[in-house]
Amino acid sequence: MKQNTSQISNPADANQITREYFDSLLIEMRHIDSVLPDTTLQLYGETFSTPVMTAALSHLNNCHPNGMVEMAKGAAAANAVMWTGMGEESELEGITATGARTIKIIKPHADNNNIYRKLEHAESCGCFAVGMDIDHAYNSRGQYDTVLGLPMTGKTLDEIKDFVKATKLPFVIKGVLSEQDTYKCLEAGVKGIVISHHHGIQNYAIPPLRILPKIVKVVDNTIPIFVDCGITNGMDVFKALALGATAVCVGRELMTSLSESGAEGVKKRIHEISDEMAGAMARTCSPDIRQIDPTVIWNR
């Protein structure tokens, strides 16, 4: 349900702004010539049952004793893509051992050698893509960030080009929220971008779905576009796909399911979100996730 703006506790909060924007988008129904929808996702030469993927989470032991590995078990059972963020090498090895097809996202560590080591390890333990979380380079005071005691720095276009060349895997940039960064990602040769404000890392950050159509035009079907932040249900997923996303990342919604029911809960929630998305596809004459007409989306 759409919130009344007067009820927002902090109008600067990017997460609340994002939720408001999701809820401001309405869906036109189309029934004549409709078909049963195909929800499969083709990504980097592999086939998945759904465009609903996990987010690049980390340190989920507060949700489950073996949090990230258990999340991976749920993703594998749902035949969905598993993303992962920070964590020990042994944890990544445990994640990929579940059979979950995994994308490893690496922080912008100040020591580039650390990044190269992590890229090499991700390849060696069977990840099918890697990437970098560029929006964690700075803190809110305009200084380089420190994450769990590890120093970060901003990365230049030339550095990103070097990271792309250092791995045989598709390289993804997470934290894109502008046309300018999109052009630079394309120049760097990345094979995917995640449109994200890192769950409100900056006040007043533009909602990912608001900038998405502009980024879609820049990309022009050359690389996959993923959307992150605030996705809680299948209607959110449908709206993102309709506006041009290839797939979406779901984080906190799956963390709740992980806490309550472990891998089985993660699998069940991915299926529920996917089913709701499919329901919207069926009622909009959308035969598959790549053929959703963006004109079905209306602004309130």
Residues known to be catalytic: 198
How far, rounded to the nearest angstrom, does the alpha carbon of residue 115 sit from its chain's CA centroid?
Answer: 21
Report angle CA 144, 176, 213 to the nearest 5 degrees. Answer: 155
- Helix locations, 192-250, DSSP H: 208-219, 234-242
Closest by CA to 219, choosing from 254, 260, 185, 266, is: 185
Give the number of C-alpha atoms closer than 13 A to the C-alpha of residue 297, restricted to the C-beta side.
Answer: 21
Bridge partners (DSSP) of residue 264 are none
Helix, strand, coil shares of the chain as percentages rounded to 5? 40, 20, 40
Cα–Cα distance measured from residue 90 to residue 120, given in angstroms and rounded to the nearest whole number:
14
DSSP for 249-299, written as a single string:
EE-HHHHHHHHHHHHHHHHHHHHHHHHHHHHHHHTBT--BTT---GGGEEE
Amino acid at the residue 249: C
CB atoms within 10 A of CB 38: 14
Between CA 243 and CA 212 the distance in angstroms is: 7
